[in-house]
Amino acid sequence: MNSFDFLLQGLAAAAQPMLLLYAFIGVLLGTMVGVLPGIGPALTVALLLPVTYGLDPAGSLIMFAGIYYGGMYGGSTTSILLNTPGESASIITALEGNKMARNGRGGPALATAAIGSFIAGLIATLLLAFLAPHIVRLALVFGPREYFALMVLAFVTVSSAFGDSTLRGLTSLFLGLALGCIGIDQLTGQARLSFGLPDLLDGVDVTTLAVGMFAVGEALFVAGQHALDRDQVLPVKGSIWMSRRDWARSWKPWLRGTAIGFPIGAMPAGGAEIGTFLSYSAEKRLTKHPEEFGNGAIEGVAGPEAANNASAAGTLVPLLTLGLPTTATAAIMLAGFQQFGLQPGPLLFATNPTLVWSLIASLLIANLMLVVLNLPLIGLWVKLLTIPKPWLYAGILMFATLGTIGTNPSSFELGMLMGFGLIGYLMRMFHYPVAPIVVGLILGPMAEQQLRRALSISQGDWSVLVQSPVAAVLLTLAALGLIVPLVLRALGKGEVLQAVAADED
């Protein structure tokens, strides 16, 4: 059977009324939480994880897919109407989209973002469906050393290749790797860094870390910054529909944004925001209306939003086919899989194809639901944006702790949540990126296991790591990703990298 048959089967499975309901609830919750200022997709997914605990794996993962896509949509609404990007991938949308809203063109800005996201999501999800089986076939010949090399590459791209400082990216990553060492060693059963505390033997929970970093850390940071400031929500004036001219100016940026965003998400190359920056500069160069850029050019919303969503779908390629999370959001999704004992990767396609394909099909369904839902409900989303900060953050902390208590009702776990919150707060204070620590925690133990397996096979000979051409190429890329930015920054050319700062998601 080819991808198309599998996808049709998946669509048939996902079209059961109960699963459609789960997808719908996921989309609705994801958009609602994603719209809230200060909450990006990573936190949306982490906060809503407990909602899915009671469901069966299929329903839960499908709701999850809805939450993920919903959170991505929600973020664009926030940045257009509030100029407070809920997620770093929406920063560019805020540039032009917020200007459009100020000029009374908020409606068309929201519409081009929604439709662009839909088209990008549709194309990218189809690409995911058709690419996945090929990558799975490739991945089946991957041994431990290839996996290890791939993870090293992911470490470098997440932490230091982009962003404004190799030092701070690497520090965040290695803190995550250090946290990953806590608990029982997978190969010898010895306790590491547990300090005699039984609560630490199971290791650090990814969700606790992510919620601590993104929810508690962010709440502390915002409390310390400007607790009493009120952001101004721009009203949506005039028609929300796009004119014929808006359509004519939007469709090419949508397609270009998709073409830029998907490969960036699909390769272990860091976050969605890199695609949005590239798409923005492409649109700025190609536009017939350069004077509008900076004052509300619709191309500057259409392209980056499409790139953002295409990249989000692209991230699922390494996650589903290799079990390799390359963003904080993907790391939490992986934790979501693992709560059901499912390990994404080539084997999952073989052992549980129905689940994988109904998940991919649900992404298509969720995407369609979003475009239908997003524009008519715009009034509701605007109301959510006007929630005053005290209630917003008090509510965020309620749900943040709820998730932790629901997984493990112990004071120890809550103490860890608070500790991670403090670390997250300090990292924000000192300009450290937060995503590498989360990715480091989940990928670190996996990388260690693969490395030690590879060395077991070779009986301790480290040179096997570069004897396979695939592994050698990946490790070379990783080395370049570490060294080239350092050299560029030393030569005072760090601006380029700074502008594509990979952070948060």
Partner 1 sequence: MSDRLPPHTDPVPGPAERPPEPHVVHPSLFAVAAGLAVIGAVMLWDSARLSGAAGYSNVGPAMFPRIIGGVLIGLAVWTAISTLRRDFPDPHPSAKGPILWVLAGLTAQLLLLKVAGFSIATGLLFALTARGFGKRNLAVTIPLGIAMAFVIWAVFSQVLMLNLPAGPLERLFFGTTP
Q: Which is nearer to partner 1, 195 or 487 (CB)?
A: 195
Minimum CB–partner distance for residue 9 and partner 1 (Å): 30
Binding to partner 1 in span 220-279, by CB under 8 A: 220-221, 223-225, 227-228, 231, 273, 277
191: burial class by Cβ within 10 Å (0-12, 13-18, 19+)? middle
Q: Which of 393, 420, 424, 468 binds partner 1 (CB under 8 A)?
A: 393
125 by Cβ neighbours in 10 Å (0-12 / 13-18 / 19+) ranks as buried
Q: Counting contacts by CB under 8 A, is residue 288 touching partner 1?
A: no
Q: Does 486 bind partner 1 (CB under 8 A)?
A: no
Does residue number 495 form part of the binding site for partner 1 (CB under 8 A)? yes
- Of 363-382, binders to partner 1 (CB under 8 A) are none
Residue closer to partner 1 by CB (options 7, 298) is 298
Q: Closest separation between CB of residue 251 and partner 1, Å?
A: 22
Of 127-135, 201-209, 237-245, 430-438, which segment contacts partner 1 by CB under 8 A?
430-438
Identity of the residue, 10 or 304, whose beta carbon is nearer to partner 1 in the bound complex: 304
| Main-chain phi, psi angles of 191, to 5 degrees | -80, 130
Does 501 contact partner 1 by CB under 8 A?
Answer: yes
Stretch that binds partner 1, among 248-256, 326-334, 344-352, 383-391 (CB under 8 A): 383-391
Enumerate residues 6+ apart whose C-beta is below 8 A from 479. none
Q: Toward partner 1, which CB reaches closer, 405 or 470?
A: 405
CB of 440 to partner 1, least distance (A): 9
Q: CB of 21: closest distance to partner 1 in angstroms?
A: 15
Would you say 181 or 240 has its CB closer to partner 1?
181
Residue closest to 37 by CA, chosen among 76, 64, 89, 92: 76
For residues 246 and 273, which CB has a smaller minimum distance to partner 1 in the complex?
Answer: 273
**Does 68 participate in binding partner 1 (rule CB under 8 A)?**
no
Q: Which two tokens stand for residue 292?
A: 């509008």
| Least distance CB 131 / partner 1 (angstroms) | 29
Find the shortest distance in angstroms from Cβ 264 to partner 1: 16
Task: Give the residue among 221, 290, 281, 274 at the shortest CA–CA distance from 253.
Answer: 281
Q: Which stretch binds partner 1 (CB under 8 A): 116-124, 177-185, 322-330, 478-486?
A: 177-185
Q: For residues 212, 388, 114 and 400, what is the CA-based torsion angle, rounded to 10 degrees?
A: 20
Residue 300: enclosing H or E segment and its boundaries? helix 299-322
Residues 121-160 that bind partner 1 (CB under 8 A): none
If one asks whether residue 503 binds partner 1 (CB under 8 A), the answer comes out as: yes
Binding to partner 1 (CB under 8 A) within 451-470 occurs at: 451-453, 455-456, 458-460
H/E stretch holding 67 reads helix 57-82
| 192, β-bridge pairs | 183
Considering the complex, state which of residue 136 and residue 204 has its C-beta at the smaller distance from partner 1: 204
Report in angstroms how near the CB of residue 375 gets to partner 1 at its nearest: 26
**Tokens describing residue 410:** 């112990």
Amino acid at 122: L
Residues from 88 through 117 that contact partner 1 (CB under 8 A): 88, 91-92, 94-95
Q: How far is the CB of 456 from partner 1 (least distance, A)?
A: 4
Site string for partner 1, 184-203 (x = CB under 8 A): -x-xx-x-xx-x--------
94: its two tokens: 């805020």
SS in 3 state form for 442-499? HHHHHHHHHHHHHHHHCCCCCCHHHHCHHHHHHHHHHHHHHHHHHHHHHCCCCHHHHH
Task: For the CB of residue 497, give the shortest distance to partner 1 in the complex, in Å.
Answer: 11
Q: Give the span between the Cα atoms of 282 and 298, in whole angstroms.
A: 14
504 forms part of the interface with partner 1 (CB under 8 A) = yes
Diameter over CA atoms, the chain: 71
The window from 171-179, 252-260, 323-331, 351-359 that contacts partner 1 (CB under 8 A) reads 171-179
Assess contact for 50 and 407: CB atoms under 8 A.
yes
* 233 secondary structure, DSSP code: P
Q: At 192, phi and psi to the nearest 5? A: -120, 135
Q: Of the candidates 400, 396, 435, 363, which has an alpha carbon nearest to the alpha carbon of residue 172?
A: 435
Size of interface with partner 1, in residues (CB under 8 A) = 90
For residues 269 and 481, is the Cβ–Cβ distance under 8 A?
no
By CB under 8 A, is residue 347 in contact with partner 1? Answer: no
Q: Is 394 in the site for partner 1 (CB under 8 A)?
A: yes
331: helix, strand or coil = helix
Site for partner 1 in 395-424 (CB under 8 A): 395, 397-399, 401-402, 405-406, 409, 411, 414-415, 417-418, 421-422
- Neighbouring CB atoms inside 10 A of 198's CB total 9
Q: In this structure, which amino acid lies at residue 111?
A: A
Stretch that binds partner 1, among 21-29, 150-158, 214-222, 321-329 (CB under 8 A): 214-222
Task: Give the x-and-dash track for 30-59 against partner 1 (CB under 8 A).
Answer: --------------------xx-xx-----
Say if CB 78 and CB 89 are below 8 A apart. Answer: no
